[in-house]
Structure 1
Amino acid sequence: MPVIQTEELTKRFPSTTALDQLTIEVEPGVVGLVGANGAGKSTLIKILLGLSSATSGRASVFGLDVTAEGPRIRERVGYMPEHDCLPADVSATEFVVHMARMSGLPADAARERTADTLRHVGLYEERYRPIGGYSTGMKQRVKLAQALVHDPEIVMLDEPTNGLDPVGRDEMLALIRRIWSEFGITVLVTSHLLGELERISDHVVVIDGGRLLRSSSTSEFTRTSQTLAVEVSAEADAVGEALAAAGLTVKREGRLLVLPLDDDEVYDLVRDAVAAQGVGLIRLEQGRHHISEIFGEDQGGAAR
């Protein structure tokens, strides 16, 4: 049974239409909701939580109607808002315990769950410091902790990597993936950065201007392409030059050498080039399309 369902869900404001007859189904797992800023992602989450009403259409979470059963839905959901909404003068422990109590946990259980959750998100050593002195990354982790502390069945994370540097993004994405893989909690995560969701999601829903562009498994979005990605431990330029001398077209993408995979002989050429340089082969895999490429195709189709 889908965790979330919407049917022709529409939300209109005086000056814009945030959602336009949106029909989706969300199964258990990590589900990425992707779209540009203003695409309707945050509006959808607020409607699913019963915090905003739809203009028309229907939506349900766990089979519960969002219009009539908002409180029952919120008991089973954890929510991480996009914007900074944390009190500066209390510690992470005080805040997360308070949120656990608000969710109905007894005092002892709230304190125990808070310690476990702050340890999980990497804030255990800093748990007694006032939140006002935290970095942006630490504040994001506090928001994630309060969404998890009452052991929800699904968490809705609105732009959880906003304001983070590349290392902080990687760490946050790893935490999000573990929510499902280790604890079995379904995750609905929004982002305008397509590559992030490609890395962690089982299923991706793409919306634009409040309308559904595409909904499918990540593997379908990122189908294999006829390219080979090669990563070596050193001398990447030299390896690339050797492959080019062998007649291959080589493109450098960060640490990767990307070349066309016309036939199996390409693998032999890579092996020989790497061996000739005396370096280690870290990665050799068939390339995959990026969601951004597919999203661009869909946008082009929509425009037509």
Structure 2
Amino acid sequence: MSDFISLNSIQRHFGVYHALKGITLELQPGRIGLLGPNGAGKSTLLKILMGLLSPSLGSGTVLGIPLRAGNNIQGNMELRRLIGFMSEADSLVPGLKGVEYVTLAGELCGMPRRQAQRRAHEILTYLEMEDARYRKLEEYSTGMKQRIKLAQALIHDPPVLLLDEPTSGLDPAGRDAMLRLMLEIGRDFGKSIIVSTHLLADVETVCDQVVLLINGQIRGQGTVEELCSRRQDRYRLQIQGDREKFAGFLRDQGVEVLDETIKGEVRIQVSRDWAPQQGFELARKSQVVLRGIIPDDETLEELFLRSVEGAETENLLAGGKV
């Protein structure tokens, strides 16, 4: 899948509302987090990637299949055979049992009925739904609904999965289990996964690439390490000794101590010409052991919040237009 996803100035309009405002992306196979707040355009982009929506403007390819403005029925059908889609909405069929629903999804993908049935049982066993497979869908809990949606996305063994808010509504145990499954499916079975979410922890747990989508525009793309900037004025001082006493000493010396703390560390903000050797001198004077000085890089959460605030400021300066 070297030719995975390539998008060039993709736009999508719904009347006067511009959901996507010129998306340009080059993505390699892997586990990709599509991260953004509610209303950022994530679901719209996923639907374009799998051919449920056509772009209003722009072009691109997904798995070598062209995306074009207008109705491209043949290309859309090819894409759907290669992609498994787990929607945020339940989209379940009342009256069907779990195994019947997953089997139906397989048949809709072109699988013979007997093959679809066998495959449905295999997937439901893998997802630990042995006891639930013969229960009707309307009797399912939220966690079971999320798993059955994942099962129908996997039925035709696609190379790519698009998962829209896969942990939505789950309790902590259910969320951890879903994240574990997503990681296993991507890492152990070699599938590329695009996870659309507004939850930073989900991306950090599962994904090796991140696309930051805010207000219909790409605000960042790369690994977490690539996206999070290295700050030149913040450090984490790892110490052995009385943390509070050391922090007080630093304040007396005119060093700004940040409130956020980790046990055994003091986070500081200094001038850009501050040298790490000064940290060892301060530790010597305050009689604590300084075990390390680590540059305090921006976290994914800080990057996300900074990007959202920047987009809101730009929108206000533009008169609030979308």
TM-score tier by shorter-chain length is 0.7 to 0.9
Conserved 8 A contact 2:85-2:153 = yes
User: What is the aligned partner in structure 1 of residue 80 from structure 2?
Assistant: 74
Question: Within 5 A, what are the aligned runs for 1:275-286?
Answer: none
Aligned-pair CA distance for 1:14: 1.6
Specify which of 177, 187, 205 is matched with residue 171 of structure 1: 177
**Count of aligned residue pairs for this structure pair:** 279
Task: State the alpha-carbon separation in 2 of the partners of residues 184 and 290 from structure 1.
Answer: 28
Aligned-pair CA distance for 1:35: 1.0
Task: State the alpha-carbon separation in 2 of the partners of residues 258 and 93 from structure 1.
Answer: 52
User: What is the aligned partner in structure 2 of residue 116 from structure 1?
Assistant: 122
| Overall identity of the aligned pairs, in % | 34
User: Alpha carbon RMSD of aligned pairs, Å?
Assistant: 3.0
Task: State the alpha-carbon separation in 2 of the partners of residues 125 and 209 from structure 1.
Answer: 43
| Distance change >3 Å, CA 251–CA 169, structure 1 → 2 | farther
User: What is the aligned partner in structure 2 of residue 259 from structure 1?
Assistant: 265
User: What is the aligned partner in structure 2 of residue 296 from structure 1?
Assistant: 305
TM-score by length of 1: 0.81
- Does residue 93 of structure 2 align to residue 125 of structure 1? no
Conserved 8 A contact 1:2-1:25 = no
Which letter does structure 2 place at the counterpart of 1:291?
A: L
Which letter does structure 1 place at the counterpart of 2:301?
A: S
**SS state at 1:128 partner:** coil
Which letter does structure 2 place at the counterpart of 1:161?
A: T
Which letter does structure 1 place at the counterpart of 2:53?
A: S
| Distance change >3 Å, CA 161–CA 245, structure 1 → 2 | same
Question: Within 5 A, what are the aligned runs for 1:1-304?
Answer: 1-67=2-68, 68=72, 69-221=75-227, 226-227=235-236, 243-245=243-245, 257=263, 259-260=265-266, 289-302=298-311, 303=313
Alignment gaps of 5+ in structure 2? 249-256, 268-275, 315-322
Larger radius of gyration: 2
User: What is the aligned partner in structure 1 of residue 270 from structure 2?
Assistant: none
TM-score by length of 2: 0.77
Alignment gaps of 5+ in structure 1? 231-238, 272-284
**SS state at 1:105 partner:** coil
Task: State the alpha-carbon separation in 1 of the partners of residues 110 and 307 from structure 2.
Answer: 44
Which letter does structure 1 place at the counterpart of 2:60?
A: A
| Distance change >3 Å, CA 26–CA 270, structure 1 → 2 | same
Task: State the alpha-carbon separation in 1 of the partners of residues 111 and 290 from structure 2.
Answer: 58
Task: State the alpha-carbon separation in 1 of the partners of residues 109 and 64 from structure 2.
Answer: 21
User: What is the aligned partner in structure 2 of residue 276 from structure 1?
Assistant: none
**SS state at 1:204 partner:** strand
Conserved 8 A contact 1:229-1:286 = no
Aligned-pair CA distance for 1:84: 1.3
| Distance change >3 Å, CA 286–CA 46, structure 1 → 2 | same
**SS state at 2:88 partner:** coil
**SS state at 1:206 partner:** strand
**SS state at 1:212 partner:** strand
Task: State the alpha-carbon separation in 1 of the partners of residues 243 and 214 from structure 2.
Answer: 41
- Report Cα offsets for 1:102-161 as digits up to 9, x if no partner: 212223322221122112222123211111111101100000010011100101011111
- Report Cα offsets for 1:12-60 as digits up to 9, x if no partner: 1123100001101221111011111111111111112221121100132
Task: State the alpha-carbon separation in 1 of the partners of residues 219 and 110 from structure 2.
Answer: 39
- Report Cα offsets for 1:266-290 as digits up to 9, x if no partner: 9x9699xxxxxxxxxxxxx998643
Conserved 8 A contact 1:20-1:211 = yes
